[in-house]
A = this chain, B = another copy of it.
Amino acid sequence: MQDNNLVKFGNEALEEFKALVMNDKFSKVFFVVDENTHENCLIPLVRELPELPENEILEVEAGEGSKSTEVLVQLWHAMSELNADRNSLIVNVGGGMVSDLGGFLAGTYMRGVSFVNFPTTVLAQVDASVGGKTGINLDHIKNRVGLFQNPLRTFVINDFLETLPQDERRSGFAEMLKHGLIADKEYWNELKEFDIDERIPDSLMIQKSVEIKSSIVNQDFKEQGIRKALNFGHTVGHALETLALDKGHKLLHGEAIALGMICETHLSIRYAGLKVDEANEIIEVLKKKYSNVEPTGSPEEWVELMKMDKKNVNGEYRFSLIKKLGEAVINVEVKEEDILESLNLILPL
């Protein structure tokens, strides 16, 4: 289903978007943005275009809170009132929130209209850009509602990362580290030396992550098997993120995943045969790079939230772990007491 060359980079991306958007098979273009990407990305993007077909801008509030049923319903109504038809094109310009929400909107409005994504954060470029997951949160349960469906194209523009706040950049970097950990030791070795606080990842690094993710997703679009490897760090990470969202505590997705990977690397020793030395090295790198991240809540609260994880089967915890640097295992049943123990690793001192 997913194909690597659905993702286009840099100038090639711009040229292809111009050709696509001027194609008269689309009756109208709907841009989905938040207030930041409206200013920092959409305006510069439109400046690059010689002309634009009939279009509308649907702006939602920045932040995960917009991935809600309320905002979704507002957007459905807005599309309808603005006379969007089946030949409309939705163009999502933003981070994962925008493409998750805008993609779900596209997939369900009139039983599906075409959409493309311009991911504007490191996280969205390396993660949300590939794999066709869209969705919204239910209360604070992440992505409880959604679809698997690919955009027509994803356009990755490196320049958009320049206006990205440093903590957002570092958040996305956690998913890049994950790609190394589950699939490519060499890439991990390159990334662990990279100072994300000082530098913006270049196109080649982003491409490497896109390639890793694409190759996994291509084998298993609907996440029945190997795709679950991409969930490494996410069982714990999602629980941290859900509680933070619930309590109004700021914790970015990648920050939560980084903490999750610390715990799940530790669990990998017992449950996946990861060598203690390797585990310790990984944990040390993650702790150093994400030293100032603090979760909210307690291990007991987090483990309670893990009961909602979509990978669970009949209420039993199932993890995606790593057996060595660059190799993942999936569907690992883990005992609650061991999860609780691993969670101590990320408690603030």
Contact = CB atoms under 8 A, between A and B. Distances in A.
Given A85-B310, A111-B133, A76 B145 contact: yes
B107 A147 contact: yes
Contacts of A135: 111
Assembly stoichiometry (copies): 2
Contacts of A138: 76-77, 80
A148 B85 contact: no
Given A85-B310, A87-B314, 20 more contacts: A69-B69, A69-B73, A69-B76, A76-B145, A77-B139, A80-B138, A80-B141, A83-B315, A85-B312, A85-B313, A86-B310, A107-B147, A108-B146, A109-B145, A110-B144, A110-B310, A111-B133, A111-B146, A111-B148, A112-B147
Interface in A131-166: 133, 135, 138-139, 141, 143-148
A27 interface: yes
Interface string A294-316: 00000000000000101011110
Interface of A: 27, 69, 73, 76-77, 80, 83, 85-87, 104, 107-112, 133, 135, 138-139, 141, 143-148, 222, 308, 310, 312-315
